[in-house]
């Protein structure tokens, strides 16, 4: 096998200095295709990079989502033209991968599930978007023509941060599945890499993913043997297990049986992987428990009648796994089944149904989750709102887009106790939740829609620090400020959150303080926080000379030393700017003569 030193030397020779994804070939595309290409890569209409920030994140995300939808709707000829601008002779290979991934699992990220949506290819757009952009980044890191499928199969383990191994593995799987001499060549390279027989290639996630996703049983068998031979090689075991969830359906079943038959759940990597596969959160768990769960899953996958029986039963874990097995083949088909279970008399059945819907992560679950927010049990309602209590909910947008969502969140907020309270877990110990108004109130910000931001003010004390800053920005964006808006922004100027304060000071910089408002800001100057003091002083100094001097006078007469210091600072800055300089010098002299100490 190639040494690390020689590999690095060769890779450095192939590298390009400027990894600019907007090549001359992209610039020569038709206006239609060029616009799509630019949006996909976070570029403006002229191809200039757009810095993604908190302010424009949603806008850029929408633009990129629109772009990837346009890519999918292009004719095959147009898409090949677009791909050729990035990939050259690999364009048809990328198109093969693009089509292959339509029937693969659709969820990216660490909390992904092994769910497919074969009749809803749009579900895989997020996954394909990520995959495409990673391939673009890899190709643009090297001289034109260097990167080929065979090159990727061999050199990926040596590329480090330059290559996303998962994305490479998905491409290789698609090309292996396409068959032909080239498919055989790629298959041989990755198999030799597993066995340590290839002069360049080595084992990695690109290899395990390629072999498990492709429909070649000899590749599955090689992965099975490698997993069994791992013994104390926890890293190797983890590499294989982390790719099992995207495996060919038959390969997945074989891996489940292998784990069960050889009691592989004694290894922590297996338990962690099973948590991802099944949407569970085992910590310390017996081999017997894991094997029993695998037995259930295999039964439900292979026998639809057994699955139907479980769905009609009263065992919540069985219902959950039956829904999971249904979604494994077709997530869309599981949605109406779970929705029906939301009316079950058993709260645990309702809970696993809404938990399943949150893990499906499709917009089609929105109406069902929205209805579940009205459940009489707050544990079900909270799960419907925020998804799984033990992991981030990547599908929360599904429920947020449902009609009347803001009002449902308001009702749930009112149902919860003012003080955060722990709720008894349902079904599994890790599902413990908190009945927290703060969490629910923050969802109101995301659910605001076209309503005026003043609708959030009754809930402002309960909204978390991050979202309070967002509220301040929303309030400031209003064309006209009413009394309630001004009072809220003045309160936020003294908020505990620096982000909220910053947004408030920025807003105050665009308006003139009204009578009495400067006194509110002056009260905050009893505090030491630097950004707060600078923000308040800035607002006071933007007043007219007379009003700024009046603020300084009030502060200098205060019993609080921090406020007196602020008064002196106002005098200093006014004098420095030649604003009332003689008056400032006189007042500072009086202060010095009247006080022995600061």
Query: C-alpha angle with apex 442: 437 to 447, nearest 5 degrees?
Result: 120
pLDDT less than 50: residues of the chain: 390-395
Q: Where are the alpha helices (DSSP H) in 303-404?
A: 304-312, 316-341, 347-360, 366-372, 378-386, 397-400
Q: 191 — phi, psi (to 5°)?
A: -65, -45
CA 249, chain centre distance (Å): 27
How many beta carbons lie within 10 A of that of residue 482, not counting itself? 11
pLDDT for the residue 118: 94
Domain residue spans in the chain? 17-140, 159-302, 329-446, 524-598
Structure tokens at 208: 């395990």
Residue-level pLDDT at 450:
86
User: What pTM did the predictor assign?
Assistant: 0.86
Identify whether the C-beta of residue 279 lies closer than 8 Å to the C-beta of residue 113. yes
Do the Cβ atoms of 405 and 372 come closer than 8 Å? no
Q: Say which residues have a Cβ less than 8 Å from residue 48's Cβ, sequence separation at least 6.
A: none
The pLDDT of residue 396 is 54
SS3 345: coil
Whose CA is closest to 172, among 224, 209, 145? 209
Contact 501/468 with Cβ under 8 angstroms?
A: no
At residue 399, the pLDDT reads: 56
DSSP conformation class of 555: H
pLDDT at 462: 92
Q: What pLDDT digit, counting tens, does each position of 84-105 carry? A: 999 999 999 999 999 999 999 9
Greatest extent of the chain over all pairs of C-alpha atoms, in Å: 95
- Of 178, 175, 208, 166, the closest CA to residue 191 belongs to 208
pLDDT at 22: 63
In terms of C-beta density within 10 A (0-12 exposed, 13-18 middle, 19 or more buried), how is residue 296 classed?
buried
């Amino acid at each position: 096998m190639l040494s690390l030193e020689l590999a690095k030397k060769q890779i450095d020779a192939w590298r390009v200095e400027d990894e600019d994804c907007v090549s001359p070939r992209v610039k020569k595309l038709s206006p239609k295709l060029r616009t799509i290409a630019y949006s996909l890569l976070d570029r403006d209409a002229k191809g200039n990079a757009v810095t993604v920030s908190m302010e424009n994140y949603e806008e850029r995300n929408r633009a990129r989502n629109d772009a990837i939808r346009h890519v999918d709707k292009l004719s095959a000829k147009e898409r090949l033209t677009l791909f050729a601008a990035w990939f050259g002779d690999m364009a048809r290979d990328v198109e093969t991968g693009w089509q292959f991934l339509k029937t693969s699992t659709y969820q990216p990220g660490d909390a992904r599930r092994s769910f497919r949506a074969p009749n809803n290819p749009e579900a895989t757009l997020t996954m394909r978007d990520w995959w495409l952009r990673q391939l673009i980044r890899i190709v643009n890191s090297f001289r034109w023509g260097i990167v080929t499928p065979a090159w990727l199969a061999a050199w990926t383990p040596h590329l480090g941060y330059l290559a996303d191994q998962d994305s490479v593995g998905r491409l290789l799987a698609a090309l292996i599945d396409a068959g032909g001499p080239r498919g055989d060549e790629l298959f041989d390279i990755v198999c030799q890499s597993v066995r340590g027989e290839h002069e360049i290639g080595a084992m990695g996630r690109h290899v395990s993913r390629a072999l498990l996703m492709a429909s070649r049983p000899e590749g599955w068998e090689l992965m099975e043997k490698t997993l069994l031979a791992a013994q104390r090689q926890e890293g190797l075991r983890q590499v294989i297990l982390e790719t099992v969830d995207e495996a060919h359906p038959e390969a997945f079943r074989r891996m489940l049986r292998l784990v069960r038959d050889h009691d592989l759940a004694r290894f922590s990597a297996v338990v962690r992987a099973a948590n991802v596969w099944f949407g569970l959160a085992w910590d310390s768990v017996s081999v017997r428990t894991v094997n029993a769960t695998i037995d259930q899953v295999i039964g439900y996958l292979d026998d639809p009648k057994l699955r139907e029986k479980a769905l009609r039963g009263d065992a919540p874990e069985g219902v959950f796994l039956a829904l999971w097995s249904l979604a494994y083949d077709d997530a869309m088909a599981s949605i109406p089944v779970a929705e029906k279970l939301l009316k079950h008399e058993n709260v645990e059945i309702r809970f696993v149904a809404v938990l399943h819907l949150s893990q499906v992560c499709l917009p089609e679950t929105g109406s069902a989750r929205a209805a579940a927010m009205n459940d009489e049990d707050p544990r079900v309602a909270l799960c419907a709102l925020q998804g799984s209590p033990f992991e981030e909910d990547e599908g929360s947008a599904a429920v947020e887009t449902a009609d009347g969502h803001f009002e449902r969140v308001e009702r749930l907020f009112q149902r919860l106790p003012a003080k955060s309270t722990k709720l008894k877990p349902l079904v599994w110990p890790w599902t413990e939740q908190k009945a927290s108004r703060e969490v629910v109130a923050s969802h109101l910000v995301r659910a605001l829609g076209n309503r005026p931001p003043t609708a959030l003010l009754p809930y402002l004390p309960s909204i978390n620090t991050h979202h309070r800053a967002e509220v301040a920005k929303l309030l400031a964006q209003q064309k006209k400020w009413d009394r309630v808006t001004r009072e809220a922004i003045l309160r936020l100027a003294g908020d505990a959150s620096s982000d909220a304060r910053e947004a408030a000071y920025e807003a105050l910089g665009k308006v003139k303080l009204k009578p009495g408002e400067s006194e509110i800001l002056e009260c905050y100057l009893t505090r030491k926080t630097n950004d707060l003091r600078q923000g308040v002083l800035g607002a006071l100094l933007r007043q007219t000379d007379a009003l700024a001097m009046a603020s300084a006078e009030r502060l200098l007469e205060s019993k609080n030393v921090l406020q007196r210091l602020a008064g002196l600072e106002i005098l200093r800055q006014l004098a420095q700017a030649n604003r009332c300089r003689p008056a400032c010098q006189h007042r500072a002299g009086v202060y010095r003569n009247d006080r022995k100490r600061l």
